[in-house]
Structure 1
């Protein structure tokens, strides 16, 4: 156990000192904000990196729920978390009393009561391994609850709300935007990422719809026979609720072995070019500035895919992708077809 969770909670008198202790606990954990967010999520909490940064950047008393989420992610034992919360409540009580004496507002968190009853407080012991994300029968209800929880968290922490979302059809989406797209950041995106992972697509589960999530959505759409838009709508969620669509990806060692076999003249060069282009990820999809896409290990463009007369599922097959790269190499005798700084 590291020092951040082994040391007793010192006695502090002000909210600023309390936050300073939390910053020190975070620093001594050795975890980044994004790692803390993921570990907190695995332990059943919602603590986006932006919320964490806001909390640790202020000198006001943070919400109990965010304190619990941070300490849980750092692996703090439950008994020590209770002591952290007792210290926080003592400070809150002093601030409230001071506010009454001075006739002004107390320096306490805004919004509803921040107390987390012991009977409903989530477990805050060591973070368990994240199980494969299930897809419940009432999937839209789960998304709605996540969305409500995200709104409450934003209100609790004082963080700015996300950009305005598209019109919501609550009957069909259970409170989530009708379309999720790149740039969004909310619990509905988190749920989408969980279920992409459950279907075998590795993606950060952080609630941020970034380029990685866009890429994985397009891969799922390609294998599921859906329009490859890179956005998530009700039809995509319905497909995620069904049987697995994405074949198990080749591990990198198998990819390296196949590359060396297909390019015996320059095995190291073949591995390096594929690594440079795609990170040896057979399901890598890149969106370029003009909106076109590049697919798979050797990043074949939309134009090339059309010229080859194959669909996206085929071009994402590592055996086909490597074999086609070999055919191109055979005509030129080098890897000049690909522009990658190796």
Structure 2
């Protein structure tokens, strides 16, 4: 017997199949699993890294670090928040930002759309302020003091 899908992968499938994403594999989801032509294929982490670096040519390492911190480079990553909202895809674009950008949950799970949307957000101030919880991913570790400096 195969394991049940996780609530996150169930929610991603539900979004892509046009269902209300609740993470529960009830009758509508089961029906869609059997009848839908939706496939859960997506980009590999290597392809994600490569495309993020191309789109964020000025700050490629920082952009990859943010995406990795936000979603572990998983384009189908969905994070439910305690207030009922969600964050979507590679850069975990919030419901509020998604509406502002004219996107939908299904579009946000498209890696190319998500990367381009993140680029638009970054371009406003040319910083990663939309992702404050991942600032640690951008901080460079200070160099260890040299032996001569400690004498």
Structure 1 residue 235 corresponds to structure 2 residue 28: yes
> Secondary structure in 1 aligned to 2:35?
coil
1:278 aligns with 2:71: yes
Corresponding residue of 1:260: 53
- Structure 1 residue 292: Cα displacement: 1.4
**Counterpart in the other structure of 1:251:** 44
Q: Report the equivalent of 1:307.
A: 100
* TM-score between the two structures when normalised by the length of structure 2: 0.83
Residue 117 of structure 2, aligned match among 324, 328, 332: 324
2:17/2:36 contact within 8 Å kept: no
- What are the Cα deviations for residues 112-156 of structure 1, in whole angstroms up to 9, with x where unaligned? xxxxxxxxxxxxxxxxxxxxx6xxxxxxxxxxxxxxxxxxxxxxx
Q: Give me the whole-angstrom Cα distance separating, in 2, the residues matched to 1:322 and 1:239.
A: 28
Segments of structure 2 that go 5 or more residues without pairing to the other structure are 138-151
Root-mean-square deviation (Å): 1.5
Instruction: Give the whole-Å Cα distance in 2 for the aligned partners of 1:249 and 1:324.
Output: 18
What TM-score do you get using the length of structure 1 for normalisation? 0.38
Alignment length (residue pairs):
135
How far apart, in 2, do the equivalents of 1:218 and 1:246 lie?
13
Q: Which has the larger radius of gyration?
A: 1
Q: List gaps (5 residues or longer) in structure 1.
A: 1-40, 42-132, 134-189, 194-212
Offset of 1:247 from its aligned partner? Answer: 4.6
Partner residue of 2:18?
225
Q: Is the 8 A contact 2:17 2:38 kept in 1?
A: yes
3-state SS, counterpart of residue 241 of structure 1 = helix
- Cα drift, residue 224 of structure 1: 0.3
- Aligned 8 A contact 2:52 2:60 in 1: yes
